[in-house]
Structure 1
C-alpha cells in the first residue's frame, strides 16, 4: 500500500519541479519572442533562474532568426527527461518515437495553459484594479498581446466590454482538444 503513496509523491514532486522549470524556460522563450521589457523585475528573475542551463547551450546552438534554439532544445530535453522518469517510475517501457511525441504534446499543452493562465490574470486584474501598473501585469500583457491583438481588431467591444479574451480562450481550448489530445494519444500508442 505505501508504495502507491510513495510513487504518487514522487510523481507529484517530479511534475512540480520539472513543470516549474519548464514553465520558466518557456516564459523566457516567449518573452524574447514578444520582446518584453528586459529590465522588468519578473523578466530579470526568469533570466537568472534559466541562465544556468540556457547559457552553456547558447555557446554551441545558435539562434534561428528570433527563436532562441538553445531554449527550445532545453525545453524538449527537459520534457523528455520528465516524461522518461515518470514512465520509469510507473513501470512503463519507453520507446523514443512515442517519448518524443509525448514530450512535444506536453510542451504544447503547457504553453497553452501558460497563455490561459496569463489571460485569466489580465482579466481579473482589469476588473480589480483597472488602469494600475504592476511589473507582473506588464509582462503578462506583453505575453498575451500577440494572441489578443488580431481578435481585438476584428471583434468590436460591446459597451466597453472586451470579448477578445473569451474568444482566445475558446480557441486555445479547441487547440487542446483537437491538436494536443490526439498528439498525446499518438504518443501513448507509440510507447
Structure 2
C-alpha cells in the first residue's frame, strides 16, 4: 500500500535537512575546503538554524557539535510529528525515541560515507583529478577513511582494496545499530 503523502513530505524534507546538517559536520570533521561552492551552500543553508546553538553548545576541540545536535532535534521532531499524524499515543517512551533518533543519525552518517566511498571509487575510474567542486569534496570527505583503511590493507601493486574494508566495516556497524532498535 502507498504511503500517506503528508507523511512522505515530512519525512523527505526532514531527512534532507538532516543530510545537509550531517554533511556540514562531516565536511568540518574532514577539514574540507571551506571555500568550495558546495561547502559554502551547505553553510548558508544551515547557519541561520545553527547560530543560536553554536553560542550555547561547547565545541569538542575544533569540532562544532551544533549540526549533530540540531540533526538529532529534527529527527526527534520528525518522529513526534509522524506519531501524532498516525494518531499514536501521546505518552511516548522518550528514552526509546531518543535511542531511535541517535541510531538514525549514526545510520545516516554511515550511509553518507558509504555513498561517498562509492562515488570516490567511480570518480577515480571515470574522472581522476577532476577539478569540479563535487568530486573534490567527495575526495576530501573520504580521504581520512581511505588513509585509515590503507593502514590495515595497503595498496597491492596499484590496486587499492581499502574501499572493500570500509564497506565491510560500515555494514558491520549498521547491523549492530539495527540490533539496538529491535
Q: Same fold (TM over 0.5)?
A: yes
| Equivalent position SS for 1:36 | coil
Shift of 1:88: 2.2
Where in structure 2 are there 5+ consecutive unaligned residues?
none
TM-score (norm 1): 0.87
Deviations 1:26-47 (A, max 9, x none): 1111111221110011100100
Evaluate the alpha carbon distance shift between residue 69 and residue 154 of structure 1 in structure 2; reply closer, same or farther with a 3 A threshold: closer
Bigger mean CA deviation after superposition, 23-32 or 80-89: 80-89
Q: Paired residue for 1:91? A: 87
* 1:128 correspondence with 2:126: yes
Q: Paired residue for 1:61? A: 57
Q: Distance in 2 between matches of 1:88 and 1:184?
A: 20
Shift of 1:65: 1.6
Which protein is richer in helix relative to its size? Answer: 1
How many matched pairs?
180
Give 4+ residue runs of structure 1 displaced > 4 Å after superposition: none
| Equivalent position SS for 1:65 | coil
Q: Paired residue for 2:154? A: 156
Bigger mean CA deviation after superposition, 28-37 or 56-65: 56-65
Q: Distance in 2 between matches of 1:78 and 1:171?
A: 27
Preserved contact between residue 25 and residue 65 of structure 2 (Cα < 8 Å): no
